[in-house]
Amino acid sequence: MNEIWAGMAEAFLLIWSLDADLIDITLRSLQVSLSALVIASALALPLATWLAIRRFRHRRFVIATMNALMGLPPVVVGLIVYLLLSRTGPFGVLGLLFTPAAMIIAQVIIITPLIASITHQAMRELWSDYHDLLISLNTTHGQRIATLIWDGRRALMTAALAGFGRAIGEVGAIMIVGGNIDHVTRVLTTAIALETGKGDFALALGLGFVLIALSLCVNLAIHTLSRTEREGLW
């Protein structure tokens, strides 16, 4: 018990003194997860909106696949990305393994289905509401997608935040493809795993507090967004 209290005290000191390692690791976490978020959103938002308004033959199958991909175990994603990027793999020549880029790729694969699935749900609802009006006004497909994305932007931000929350807290995949190399690919989650293993609870706890604070912010933002949506305060 004493160890934990001592660790906590030291953790606060690290945060208070803006410890260089702690800052470095936190910034890298943000950089990797935000990049993954931007790329995943750019893929998922238009795709999911398009899926919500277009009827085609294998639509149900595509949606089922998207929902199934949401449940992909991150460790397995890590393994697959590792195999693809390893020196003998098909993308080995790019030399991306054990770089932040590899971690971003893994996170994109993990969070794109999640963002797409939440977006699709919201867009379908909005589309059933708008359908008759947008058809009546003779809109093009592009105009429909743009209208839905704009008017559904709060739901889309909620989806993006959920994706970010998943990315920043993920450890299995980025551990495998990033390698947890100090000052190169070490991020909050992998550092916590490592420091705990080494028995350095102070740094682990300090990093843990930062991670918790980030998740809290994300959840608070989601909550605020859904409330403004419900109350029609847009």
Q: Tokens at residue 165, please?
A: 């929350």
- Of these, 4, 137, 213, 216, which contacts another protein (CB under 8 A)? 137
Smallest distance, Å, CB 159 to another protein?
Answer: 17
Radius of gyration (C-alpha) of the chain in whole angstroms: 21
Residues 6+ apart with CB under 8 A from 141: 53, 54
Binding to another protein, residues 40-59 (CB under 8 A): none
Please choose, out of 28-36, 143-151, 182-190, 199-207, the segment that lies near another protein by the rule CB under 8 A. Answer: 143-151
Q: Is residue 187 within 8 Å of residue 178, measured between CB atoms?
A: yes
Coil, strand, or helix at residue 149?
A: helix
d(C-alpha 55, C-alpha 145), whole Å? 14
Total binding residues toward another protein, as defined by CB under 8 A: 16
Closest to 193 in 3D by CA, of 178, 182, 209, 208: 208
Binding to another protein, residues 194-223 (CB under 8 A): none
- Of these, 23, 42, 64, 133, which contacts another protein (CB under 8 A)? 133
Q: Which is nearer to another protein, 86 or 139 (CB)?
A: 139
Please choose, out of 2-10, 12-20, 123-131, 182-190, the segment that lies near another protein by the rule CB under 8 A. Answer: 123-131
Q: Tokens 């949606």 belong to which residue? A: 63
Measured CA angle at 106 (ends 26, 56), to 5 deg: 130
Q: Is 132 in the site for another protein (CB under 8 A)?
A: yes
Q: Is 151 in the site for another protein (CB under 8 A)?
A: yes
Q: Is 138 in the site for another protein (CB under 8 A)?
A: yes
> Which chain residues interact with another protein by CB under 8 A?
126, 129-130, 132-133, 135-139, 143, 147, 151, 232-234
